[in-house]
Amino acid sequence: MIARIFTLLAALAMAVSGVIQAVRPFDADPRVLGEEHLLLALFAAGLVLLIPGLLELRRFGSANLGVLAVSAGHVLLAFGATSSNVKGEDFSWFPYVALSANLAILAGSITMAVTLWRADRFPRPLAAALPLVWVCEVPLSQLGGGIVVGVFWLVVVHHLSKTPVYREAVTD
């Protein structure tokens, strides 16, 4: 139940940040100004709040390694975004953290998608979409990709809410 609530809050944070990003002009300024503080805060909160939902997917057959990689990537990216938000611009080390975090998220998402697909206890279209969600979450975020991410996780929350909890998780 808690995982679903956190995932719902994450979906809303991502969707709201996506709407804000979609309607604002593109900004190449490296400084964090104005509503960008809100955007980074929503993004970081969304990343961290998604972790319980990712962990919940283990009961449908998602590999622990994939879930841990995506979760670690989310924590690293949220740390980097929060640091940039507080400082008002990216630290010199941010590209290294962002690259590592994004690689972990992408590799973990692919691993999760494959294991969820094979276990066949989670809707296959949702499993296949996991790596694509990362594309909307990060590379397409300035175009409003958070809207797609929010909708995806709302659908996942809906699926989690109608699936019995007593199903066993498949372990690695």
Across 98-122, b (16+ Cβ under 10 Å) vs e yields beebbebbbbbbbbbbbbbbebebb
124 in Cβ contact with 117 (< 8 Å): yes
Q: What mean pLDDT do residues 48-70 have?
A: 93
* pLDDT of 77 strictly over 80: yes
Q: Bridge partners of 31?
A: 89
* pLDDT of 49 strictly over 50: yes
| pLDDT band with cut points at 50, 70 and 90 for residue 83 | very high
Between 33 and 135, the more confident residue is 135
* pLDDT of 164 strictly over 80: no
| pLDDT band with cut points at 50, 70 and 90 for residue 165 | low
